[in-house]
Structure 1
Amino acid sequence: MRYLLRSFAAGALRRGKGIEQLLSGFEEEGRRGIRYACIWPANRHRGFVVRVHVVEEVAGLPVDEFGAFYEDEYGDGAETVGETESAEEAITLAERELGADPGRWVNEGVLGDEYHDFAARGRRLGRWEPV
């Protein structure tokens, strides 16, 4: 089973592991991109960081190597949405601010499989709704 129950997603975060979620596909000025959310344990304090990545699809590259869709300081297309004290608060923040689906979080490293399914189903624009 690819998707984590909310309690398992929070547990992964508390154990120091990140979670991710493919949010949507979009097109702008003839370029294709995706948005995905990540939640990671914060390095500088006891808490969690919620980020959204907006990246350009590049054929032949793994999703974690896609570059920023818009110019940014680091070229990774990531923007911090917020930081929280608890894993549960971080998941709630991503759901509220990014429209993340509570039933579609995956462990760090599984986003590539999710993107593969997205691509196999025609890379539809808009919110990613796996079958």
Structure 2
Amino acid sequence: MRYLTEPFALGALRRGRAIEQFLGAAGTPEKPGIRWVEIRPKASGYLVVLHTAEDVGGEHFRDLVEFPPLDSDDGEEDFGQEIATTEDEPSAMAIAEASTGAVHHRWVNAGIAQDDYLDFVRAGRPTYPPATEPS
């Protein structure tokens, strides 16, 4: 099972592990992109980060953190828009969901959002966000 139940998502964060969620298409037809949100534990709480990258991947290249930022000219390696910092895990998840359109039951461990990206590629890169778990 790819997606974390709420107790497992909260547990991962409490153990110092990041969770993430692929959000789908971004950008324009001329410059296609993708978005995903990440919640990272830090010393004083949790950081919610929204990433927007160029859609340069495919079936054989889907490591999202290797994709270049969609709207960055400075070539930053670690990019993303910081949405919020919170003190507790449920607040971080709630803020991420309210701010980015993330869905409560689609959180995954860090590095697994690329599997949802692969589903997105195989579905023809739809412009709407995923609504249900792939079969």
**Structure-2-length-normalised TM-score:** 0.87
Aligned to 1:87: 89
Q: State the Cα distance separating 1:27 from its structure 2 match.
A: 4.0
Tell me which amino acid in the other structure corresponds to 1:65.
E
Is the 8 Å Cα contact of residues 25 and 128 (structure 1) preserved in structure 2? no
**Structure 2 spans left out of the alignment, 5+ residues:** none
Which stretch of structure 1 is more off in the superposition, 102-111 or 26-35?
26-35
- Report runs of 4+ in structure 1 exceeding 3 Å deviation: none
Aligned to 2:49: 51
Same amino acid, percent of matched pairs: 37
Give the total of aligned pairs: 129
Deviations 1:77-125 (A, max 9, x none): 4100000000111001101111110000000111111111111111101
Helix, strand or coil at the partner of 1:58: coil
**Structure-1-length-normalised TM-score:** 0.89
CA separation in 2, counterparts of 1:122 and 1:26? 14
Q: Once superposed, what is the RMSD of the aligned Cα atoms?
A: 1.7
- The residue correspondences of 1:72-83 to structure 2 (distance < 5 A) are 74=76, 76-83=78-85
Is the 8 Å Cα contact of residues 34 and 56 (structure 1) preserved in structure 2? yes
Q: State the Cα distance separating 1:46 from its structure 2 match.
A: 2.5
Deviations 1:48-87 (A, max 9, x none): 0000001001135422201110016525541000000001
**Structure 1 spans left out of the alignment, 5+ residues:** none
Is the 8 Å Cα contact of residues 68 and 76 (structure 1) preserved in structure 2? no
Helix, strand or coil at the partner of 1:126: coil
